[in-house]
Every structure is written in C-alpha cells, then in structure tokens.
Amino acid sequence: MTKMLLIVVFVLGLTVNGFAQKISDKDNTTVYVTTTDITVRKTPPSKGLILISGPGEEIFKLKKDDKVIVLERKVIESVLSKTIWIRIQDQQSNKEGWMYWGDKEKESVNLEEVK
C-alpha cells in the first residue's frame, strides 16, 4: 500500500510539473494601469508535488492608477487550479517584481491596458 501511494504521488508530481508554462512577453512595451492597490512580490507561487505554495515575500506596493509594463508571464497549474502571474516593472520607480494577473490569459483582474 505504501509503495502504491508513493507511485501515485510521484506520477501526480510529474503531471503537475508538466503543466507549468513560462510565457515571455515579446512586446513588453505595452503599458498597463493598475485597477486597485496591489502587493508586488519577490517570486510567484511555486508548484509542489500536488499543491501550489504561496507567493514570495512582499517587496513593494503599487497604488491604483500606477503604470507598469509586463516583462514575463508565468502560468502555474496544479491538479486543482491554474493561475497566471506576471513579472512587472513599475514605470515610475523602475522596480521589478511579481503580481497576480488572474486565471484567464487575456483579461487581468488587476490591470487594464492603456490605450
């Protein structure tokens, strides 16, 4: 029984790791404006064998209507969920960090494109 459980956990771990994607944003000149105050983190959440761990430590905060550009997107999938995190650069301070985009690739819950 123990061997069977270890095999199942190992296979689930391979499956979860297989879902991870890193999407580079080739057009990182698109400017977005924040729709609310947002915590920017050192790292996005990371995948474990079955669950996703929490995001890294807070490094700075953005206020509503701050402008940022997206440097990188990371899709994090587990058996139970899918989230998208983005590495951004604050246009005012040039600080970089990670923030939550949402769970749909086209629509962010925290940013709107500046037109």
pLDDT at 74: 92
pLDDT at 7: 44
According to CATH, the topology of domain 2-113 is SH3 type barrels. (2.30.30)
Smallest Cα–Cα separation from 25: which of 81, 79, 57, 68? Answer: 68
pLDDT in tens, the chain (115 residues): 555 544 443 434 434 444 444 444 445 578 999 999 999 999 998 876 555 678 889 999 999 999 999 999 999 887 777 889 999 999 999 999 999 999 888 889 999 998 7
What residue spans define the domains of the chain? 2-113
Tell me the pTM: 0.72
* Cα separation, 104 vs 83, whole angstroms: 8
